[in-house]
Amino acid sequence: MIEVVCAIVEQHGRVLLTQRSEQMRESMLWEFPGGKLEAGETEHQGLVREIKEELGIDVQPYHRLDPVQHPYPNHTIVLIPYLSHYNGGVISLLEHRAYRWATPDELADFNWCPADVLIVEAYLELVKNRG
Ligand SMILES: Nc1nc2c([nH]c(=O)n2[C@@H]2O[C@H](COP(=O)(O)OP(=O)(O)OP(=O)(O)O)[C@@H](O)[C@H]2O)c(=O)[nH]1
């Protein structure tokens, strides 16, 4: 099982989404930025490292949401989402095709990686319950 951590980074009522590039698996689909955990790394360390590597920004994970398991044709992943603070830096697209700061209302309009669909739903529920 491949463990993948991803960040739900919020700022001014919007959330950061990234679009996978032509070169990546699940190409052109939208996701929460992140990546595979490396051996010996904690989830927090892996998430901070991945976001720095692919977007050049600093984030601080603070709340773990329920992981989602998803079978892709050649591998199964467990996707572990963290609500995260944006701690600074300017976004550079070092691996992705595009990024957006989307409002919760807009999230349903994106073509998501299949593993993310349940995470988007859980996030929307959380936003609703915050009032
Ligand atoms: N980062 C990220 N990956 C996701 C999400 N949803 C999802 O299904 N995935 C899948 O999880 C896997 C993560 O791979 P990745 O390519 O982003 O990670 P990485 O940078 O560590 O991989 P690499 O070193 O093999 O290129 C891919 O199969 C990707 O499609 C998501 O929200 N964020």
- For the Cβ of 31 lying below 6 angstroms from any atom of ligand 1, the answer is yes
- For the Cβ of 86 lying below 6 angstroms from any atom of ligand 1, the answer is no
111 phi and psi, to 5 degrees?
-90, 95
**Tens of pLDDT, residues 18-76:** 999 999 989 999 999 999 999 999 999 999 999 999 999 999 999 999 999 999 999 99
**Tens of pLDDT, residues 82-91:** 999 999 999 9
Q: What is the CA radius of gyration of the chain?
A: 14
**54 touches 35 (CB < 8 A):** yes
**8 touches 81 (CB < 8 A):** yes
Both tokens of 112, joined, read 């998501």
Nearest CA to ligand 1 atom 17: 35
Within 13 Å and on the Cβ side, how many CA atoms surround 89?
17
**Tens of pLDDT, residues 91-113:** 999 999 999 999 999 999 999 99
pTM of the model: 0.95
CATH superfamily of the domain spanning 2-130: Nucleoside Triphosphate Pyrophosphohydrolase (3.90.79.10)
Residue ranges of the domains in the chain? 2-130
- For the Cβ of 6 lying below 6 angstroms from any atom of ligand 1, the answer is yes
- For the Cβ of 26 lying below 6 angstroms from any atom of ligand 1, the answer is yes
